[in-house]
Amino acid sequence: MTTLPALFISHGSPMTALEPGAAGAFMQRLGPAIDRAFGRPIAVLAISAHTLARRHVLLAGARHEAVYDFGGFPDALYRLRYDAPGALALAPRVAALMGAAGLPVQTLDASGLDHGIWTPLRYLYPGADVPVLPLSFSPHDSPAALMALGRALAPLADEGVLIVGSGSLTHNLRLIYGPGGQPDVAAPETAETAAFRHWVAERTAARDWAALRDYRRQAPHAAFMHPTDEHWLPFYVAAGAGGEAATPRRLHASVTYGVLAMDLYAFGAGSDTLAEETRDAVAA
């Protein structure tokens, strides 16, 4: 097995679990592509926008089930299951790496996968046969702090661990569930969404980490696309884990509801290999 890239996945609406769309179809190809290029990961370390705490916590339960952390959706969504093994053996290694970097973490005998974790994983690994270890972060953590967390976790990529930051490239739900009614899932992309996505793609390809960390001031429509930061912050963990020297690759780009970007990025030395394996057409 060679070094795995770290991933930032836009998990989208919970309905993605029932209606995969372009992003779900891509993720169905992504899991087999990872296996072909790097071998099956021994575990997934998942950092999700929906597993938040005031400090870092590892959920090191022996077995996980899907958590339905949403309401008002069709009954069929709540009948979906994703029962995956926990990654107990990985927890001490993660804690040691974080401790060495001065990042304290609490390990709990607790389980549960929020929809930001189980929705993409049910496409990547539908057999639910890859152990999962969720790691929480604080929504008040800065981009710089989360990149430092990613750097601390980087050795795991050489040990067969797939590091996944799960959030959303854009996340203003008021534009979807506002008083004007929900737009069609295939609605045309808004100009503001396109501008923000293009800026992220351009700055990421240039490895302009200073600008990306300062996205609140520099990115067009940043506050409009992210009224709060938590869905964007997992990007920085994946970026830090991949290292600042390797050029990231945008593996997939699409938009739902005209405003909810589903872009997916790979970071690290294996990013080019994974891009070649998936060969997804990426929109500008």
Helices (H), the chain: 21-38, 75-79, 90-100, 115-124, 143-153, 191-205, 209-213, 215-218, 222-225, 234-242, 271-278
Q: Are 50 and 116 in contact (CB under 8 A)?
A: yes
Mean pLDDT for the chain overall = 95
User: Tokens 């600008």 map to which residue?
Assistant: 211
The per-type count for the chain, helices as H runs and strands as E runs, is 11, 12
pLDDT over 90 percentage in the chain:
91
- The whole-model pTM stands at 0.95
pLDDT value at residue 2: 81
pLDDT value at residue 284: 41
* Joined tokens for residue 156: 């795991």
**What interhelical angle do 115-124 and 21-38 show, nearest 10?**
60
* Joined tokens for residue 49: 């926008």
CB atoms within 10 A of CB 252: 23
pLDDT value at residue 1: 55
Give the Cα separation of 152 and 220 in Å (integer): 30
Give the Cα separation of 14 and 77 in Å (integer): 8
pLDDT, one tens digit per residue, over 113-132 is 999 999 999 999 999 999 99
Residue 165 main-chain phi, psi, to 5 deg? -95, 120
pLDDT value at residue 247: 94
Q: Say whether pLDDT at 110 is over 60.
A: yes
pLDDT, one tens digit per residue, over 137-167 is 999 999 999 999 999 999 999 999 999 999 9
Q: Say whether pLDDT at 180 is over 90.
A: no
Q: In whole angstroms, how far apart are CA 264 and each of 74, 78, 97, 247, 251?
A: 26, 25, 26, 14, 6
Q: Say whether pLDDT at 213 is over 90.
A: yes
Q: Say whether pLDDT at 16 is over 60.
A: yes
* Joined tokens for residue 233: 């912050």
pLDDT value at residue 182: 80
Tell me which DSSP letter residue 51 carries: S
Tell me the average pLDDT across 73-82.
96
Q: How many CA atoms lie within 13 A of 41 on its CB side?
A: 32
Domains along the sequence of the chain with CATH: 6-171+232-254+263-278 (3.40.830.10)
Q: Are 87 and 133 in contact (CB under 8 A)?
A: yes
pLDDT, one tens digit per residue, over 35-74 is 999 999 999 999 999 999 999 999 999 999 999 999 989 9
Using pLDDT thresholds of 50, 70 and 90, give the confidence band for residue 94: very high
Using pLDDT thresholds of 50, 70 and 90, give the confidence band for residue 185: confident
Q: Say whether pLDDT at 282 is over 60.
A: no
The residue that leads in pLDDT, 17 or 178, is 17
Give the Cα separation of 217 and 215 in Å (integer): 5
Give the Cα separation of 119 and 48 in Å (integer): 11
Give the Cα separation of 118 and 16 in Å (integer): 11
